[in-house]
Chains A and B, each alone.
Chain A
Amino acid sequence: MEFKLEAHRIVSISLGKIYNSRVQRGGIKLHKNLLVSLVLRSARQVYLSDPCPGLYLAGPAGSPAVSPPQPGEPAAGPPAGWGEPPPPAARAAWPDAEPRPERLAGPAEPAAPVTGAGDTPRGGEAEAAEAAWRRVEGQREAAEGGAGGPAGGSDGFPEGPRGARRPCGCPRGTEDRPGPLGACPRLDCCCAPRPAEDEPPAPPAVGPRKRGAADVGGGPGDCPAPGSSPRKKPRRNSEEQPGGAAAAAEEEEEEMETGNVANLISIFGSSFSGLLRKSPGGREEAEGEESGPEAAEPGQICCDKPVLRDINPWSTAIVAF
């Protein structure tokens, strides 16, 4: 149990570091972000393997009286730093407010074995989705004029936690854009693999954060209107063309790739999109897939649907990666 608390705390701290690395002078340090992502992965594994799945993690001062983001409401921040989960009562309201749990129920079964470290069936489709998502992500960020966007739109509340409230960043219910779930890069997320979904994963892989106010979860207020998202991909593509040509022309112009920071972004909302914009992001969660030995851990099935319903959004966010 204490491991779970410790892991939870370390995950919060790590996300904070990744967030802060955006604004650091000199650009994002690849090495540091890689190390932070490794810690994130370790903490996640411990968190997931700790055998008290439905436990609500209260903050040190007891549960902060923060209600989970209601539909149409901008996510409010917990008063005492981020990462504090909302109180159970409010939490119960969350699943009802969203059709999400239903969605979770569906793919949860097949996805269950995938949790823990196991980024097992990292299908090509999911990867394509992720890559597409990343491209869109970058484009969106470009459109927003850089990292200032999300931060600016924040309601004074660190973006991380707000994003974190979004369970695994997977799109909700019906207002999903096609494929945004496919865009959920974390295969081991509860609502993960939707390659079987009707929608091709590749398309405007729009993270839930793009939903904006219309989003069930009341995503970050700075998100562009959902409708605007799909446009981004085509634009990004055309942008990529000349960029790509230039890159091909001169090795020196190679863009520093941001790697799996995109995964974090999808999970935790627009706040991290600045990472893509700026610099070589860290090596981040998705490297979990190469954790072969860890994937073999038995009893990783804490992604049972009933359990998921009970776990507060913050926890599900962790489960997601």
Chain B
Amino acid sequence: MPSHRMPSEADIISTVEFNHTGELLATGDKGGRVVIFQREPESKNAPHSQGEYDVYSTFQSHEPEFDYLKSLEIEEKINKIKWLPQHNAAHSLLSTNDKTIKLWKITERDKRPEGYNLKDEEGKLKDLSTVTSLQVPVLKPMDLMVEVSPRRVFANGHTYHINSISVNSDCETYMSADDLRINLWHLAVTDRSFNIVDIKPANMEDLTEVITASEFHPHHCNLFVYSSSKGSLRLCDMRAAALCDKHSKLFEEPEDPSNRSFFSEIISSVSDVKFSHSGRYMLTRDYLTVKVWDLNMEARPIETYQVHDYLRSKLCSLYENDCIFDKFECAWNGSDSVIMTGAYNNFFRMFDRNTKRDVTLEASRESSKPRAVLKPRRVCVGGKRRRDDISVDSLDFTKKILHTAWHPAENIIAIAATNNLYIFQDKVNSEMH
């Protein structure tokens, strides 16, 4: 996404999400804007330019607000976007900032009625004396116009900052989670929501953990998971009770005592949780690793992948410059065989669960000429250094890839690098393996 003006903080992309078919890609930024990209249909004439994404629509979703009662400014930054499954020609998505969730409807208009009896082409009323006959207006094609309108505003549901939203597979409800509570909403009802998780202690002094992310199960509309700052996952069943404070399953890995440090607790905080497409597994991201959990095994993850373990010895500096609080997201590919997550220096990592191979790639203008093949990168941690290796100390920690998304079916990924969006396609292996 080319930035036509000086890069400002408002342009920093804060969320990326493909819709269910992968035809549309939505991004939200710190300035409260949403930009939707659409994949161009493959053209027989130019097979090489198959399926590139172009800007489809841009709109301002949220504005900065001020809560006068509490003297709080509410940021307009879009924290999450989730698409609704499509039921008709229109597309719908939910976008949220810290406090308010909005439902947007995106419609296309590519025809325009012409031949009104009472109005002329510009819409001005005709002089009735000139009207001698009646005609039926006809629809004529026009340049495509994409219209976006806010259909619902779900406000005042959260006291704390919303960190995630998730649409239920029933397509009627969705949930929103803040630091201490999770609410269930009906998509058609804005004045009411049901609180389904509340971990706020009676005495805030007893607070030990907060909710960091949550998601509905892709197939079972009664199941959802939420992650905590302590590194645990709780699977909850809404059929069990109205208030799902008691989890059905608790997924937690015992801490490795040899890795204990001042920052053990911070780095174990889960920043993202995603169900696999199959619904059988969950993927979590904490500061240094991504982990795959089997829903049937609560004691420990079935797979753990090191994203950038070379940072383990630098945690104090990363604490100082606040990088240790960065919340990286993670993603599954369509077949759940590869997982992806971002890192620093505009690097992102992919792990193949079957071959156990991993690769580090870079999202940067220099290395991403159109149709260029991304070259794997390597971070050297001392010892023998190869030519193109980057040393840990020369990593740029201001260039972080927090938000990534994988096309639901194809090997197309969207990478948000600060204020730039990169879309990479695997042309060679365009089918999943």
Contact = CB atoms under 8 A, between A and B. Distances in A.
Given A31-B179, A290-B206, A38 B266 contact: yes
B71 A277 contact: yes
Contacts of B163: 31
Contacts of B157: 252
B212 interface: yes
B210 A146 contact: no
Contacts of A136: none
Interface string B173-186: 00000011000000
B304 interface: no
Contacts of B73: 25-27
User: For chain B, what secondary structure do more than half of its interface residues adopt (helix, strand, loop), or is it mixed?
Assistant: loop
Given A30-B160, A35-B229, A253-B69, A259 B265 contact: no
A13 interface: yes
B269 interface: yes
B70 A279 contact: yes
B156 A30 contact: no
A287 B206 contact: yes
Contacts of A34: 207-210, 229
Given A34-B229, A278-B70, A280-B179, A259 B204 contact: yes
Nearest to B211: A31
Contacts of B367: none
Contacts of A32: 325
B161 interface: yes
A239 interface: no
B221 interface: no
A260 B204 contact: yes
B262 A46 contact: yes
A258 B269 CA distance: 21
A130 B203 CA distance: 12
B72 interface: yes
A164 B152 CA distance: 49
B185 to A, nearest CB: 14
A283 B320 contact: no
A67 interface: no
A43 B210 CA distance: 21
Given A26-B75, A280-B160, A35 B207 contact: no
Interface string A76-87: 000000000000
A255 interface: yes
Contacts of A255: 70, 159
- Name which of A7, A29, A255 has the most chain B CB atoms within 10 A of its CB: A29
A278 B73 CA distance: 10
Interface string A120-134: 000000010010000
A13 B205 contact: no
B207 A31 contact: no
A144 B264 CA distance: 38
A256 interface: yes
Contacts of A175: none
Contacts of A286: 205
A146 B159 CA distance: 20
A10 interface: yes
Interface in A270-305: 277-280, 283, 286-287, 289-290
Contacts of A27: 70, 72-74, 98, 161
Contacts of A237: none
Interface string B142-162: 000000000000001101110
User: For chain A, what secondary structure do more than half of its interface residues adopt (helix, strand, loop), or is it mixed?
Assistant: helix
Given A259-B207, A280-B179, A26 B161 contact: yes
Interface residues of B, number: 38
A32 B269 CA distance: 10
Interface string B61-82: 0000000011111110100000
Contact of B316 (A10, A26, A252): A10
A283 B208 contact: yes
A227 to B, nearest CB: 27
A6 interface: yes
Nearest to A285: B205
Contacts of B266: 35, 38-39
B215 to A, nearest CB: 18
Nearest to A145: B71
Interface in B33-69: 69
Contact of A252 (B159, B264, B265): B159
Interface in B301-340: 316, 319-320, 322, 325
Given A257-B204, A260-B204, A39 B72 contact: no
A130 B319 CA distance: 30
Contacts of B397: none
B193 to A, nearest CB: 10
B159 A287 contact: no
Interface string A9-38: 010010001000000011101111011001
Given A42-B265, A280-B160, A30 B180 contact: yes
Nearest to B260: A42
Nearest to A283: B207
A31 B212 contact: yes
B262 A26 contact: no
Contacts of A289: 205
A260 B319 contact: no
Contact of B156 (A252, A260, A287): A252
Nearest to A255: B70
A259 B269 CA distance: 20
- Name which of B179, B205, B208, B262 has the most chain A CB atoms within 10 A of its CB: B205
A255 B72 CA distance: 11
Contacts of B72: 26-27, 278-279
Contacts of B69: 253
Given A30-B160, A39-B263, A280-B160, A287 B207 contact: yes
Contacts of B206: 287, 290
Contact of B210 (A31, A39, A42, A279): A31
8 contacts: A10-B262, A29-B161, A34-B208, A34-B210, A255-B70, A259-B207, A283-B204, A290-B206
Interface of B: 69-75, 77, 98, 156-157, 159-161, 163, 179-180, 203-210, 212, 229, 262-266, 269, 316, 319-320, 322, 325
Given A10-B316, A27-B73, A258-B204, 13 more contacts: A6-B316, A10-B262, A26-B98, A30-B180, A32-B325, A35-B266, A38-B265, A39-B319, A42-B265, A127-B205, A259-B205, A260-B204, A290-B208
Nearest 9 pairs of A and B residues by beta carbon:
A259-B204, A26-B75, A257-B204, A252-B156, A27-B72, A30-B179, A283-B207, A38-B265, A42-B262
Interface of A: 6-7, 10, 13, 17, 25-27, 29-32, 34-35, 38-39, 42-43, 46, 127, 130, 146, 252-260, 277-280, 283, 286-287, 289-290
